[in-house]
């Protein structure tokens, strides 16, 4: 199973990707998480990426393409993968096509998460992340049992540097100009399926499973 989750920041890709990848026993390849990890470890790549991420800009294509290429080389990616947050530009999609071609494999489905801008803004500015396990919370719609602490591991919850309102607005505009063209790119290849990214989590998870099952049956 080889899948791409495509959608604006705050669409819920990460939450759903985590569940689906675990269910299928495939790795979730999330470039945002990989970049934040590199930053936490203070690698040169992480430090270079930080300036872009803090401003809400995209990290240069060569950097993320290099990360994904390297990740593809690990044995667990052989059985399949779920790309979450990559590709985000047409140049990245083209690079991905080349990587897949080298391996003589293809993508089964691109799942596009549809969410209104007002909802995205609400979700991102209220989002909190666990430092320990990466679990996601929302101050209003899914707060932890104890303020500031993760229900799963007791870790500290923090707000990402790029989740303040001004930066979120910037990220949404970057999404519109750089990532939206990918919809046509994948529509033209007959891979795109839209799912409603608003509503109860279980309903969203069900629509995704249906889209994935349809791809399998092809």
Which backbone phi and psi does 107 adopt, to 5 degrees? -90, 140
User: Rounded to 5 degrees, what angle do the CA atoms 199, 205, 206 make?
Assistant: 100
Using CA atoms, how far apart are residues 158 and 184, in angstroms rounded to an integer?
36
Token duo for residue 102: 């080298």
Output the smallest distance, CB 216 to ligand ADP, in A: 26
Is-catalytic flag, 2? no
Q: Is the dihedral of CA 145, 202, 88, 114 positive or negative?
A: negative
Find which of Zn ion, ligand ADP, none residue 153 binds, CB within 5 to 8 Å per kind: Zn ion
Tell me which of 47, 78, 133, 214 binds Zn ion, using CB under 5 A: 133
135 binds Zn ion (CB under 5 A): yes
The answer to whether the peptide bond before residue 170 is cis (omega within 30 degrees of 0) is no
Can you name the residues that pair with 110 across neighbouring β-strands? 4, 192
| CB of 52 or CB of 185, closer to ligand ADP | 52
Stretch that binds Zn ion, among 4-12, 44-52, 118-126, 147-155 (CB under 5 A): 147-155
Q: Is the dihedral of CA 93, 196, 207, 76 positive or negative?
A: positive
Tell me which of 93, 96, 129, 150 binds Zn ion, using CB under 5 A: 150
96 binds Zn ion (CB under 5 A): no
Find which of Zn ion, ligand ADP, none residue 144 binds, CB within 5 to 8 Å per kind: none
Is-catalytic flag, 13? yes
Q: Which of 13, 18, 36, 109 is catalytic?
A: 13
Find which of Zn ion, ligand ADP, none residue 27 binds, CB within 5 to 8 Å per kind: none
Q: Which of 36, 88, 123, 128 is catalytic?
A: 88
Collapsing DSSP to helix, strand or coil, 203 comes out as: helix
Mark residue 34 as left, alpha or beta (left: phi above 0; alpha: psi -120 to 50; beta: remaining). Answer: alpha
Output the smallest distance, CB 96 to ligand ADP, in A: 10
| CB of 74 or CB of 216, closer to ligand ADP | 74
Is-catalytic flag, 103? no
Using CA atoms, how far apart are residues 57 and 51, in angstroms rounded to an integer?
9
Identify the CA nearest to 15 among candidates 140, 124, 89: 124
Find which of Zn ion, ligand ADP, none residue 32 binds, CB within 5 to 8 Å per kind: ligand ADP
Binding residues vs Zn ion (CB under 5 A): 130, 132-133, 135, 150, 152-153, 155
Catalytic residues: 13, 88, 127, 160, 171
């Amino acid at each position: 199973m080889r899948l791409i989750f495509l959608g604006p920041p705050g669409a819920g890709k990460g939450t759903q990707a985590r569940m689906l990848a675990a269910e299928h026993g495939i790795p979730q390849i999330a470039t945002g998480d990989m970049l934040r990890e590199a930053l936490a470890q203070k690698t040169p790549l992480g430090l270079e990426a930080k300036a872009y991420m803090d401003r809400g800009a995209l990290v240069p294509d060569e950097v993320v393409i290099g990360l994904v290429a390297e990740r593809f080389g690990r044995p667990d990616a052989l059985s399949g993968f779920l790309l979450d947050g990559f590709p985000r530009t047409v140049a990245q999609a083209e690079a991905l096509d080349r990587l897949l071609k080298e391996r003589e494999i293809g993508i089964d489905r691109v799942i596009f998460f549809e969410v209104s801008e007002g909802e995205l803004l609400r979700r991102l500015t209220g989002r909190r992340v666990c430092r320990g396990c990466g679990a996601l919370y929302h101050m209003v719609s899914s707060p932890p049992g104890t303020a500031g602490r993760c229900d799963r591991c007791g870790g500290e919850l923090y707000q990402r540097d790029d989740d303040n309102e001004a930066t979120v607005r910037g990220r949404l505009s970057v999404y519109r100009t750089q990532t939206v063209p990918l919809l046509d790119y994948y529509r033209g290849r007959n891979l795109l399926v839209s799912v409603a990214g608003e509503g109860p989590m279980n309903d969203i998870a069900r629509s995704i499973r249906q889209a994935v099952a349809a791809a399998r049956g092809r």
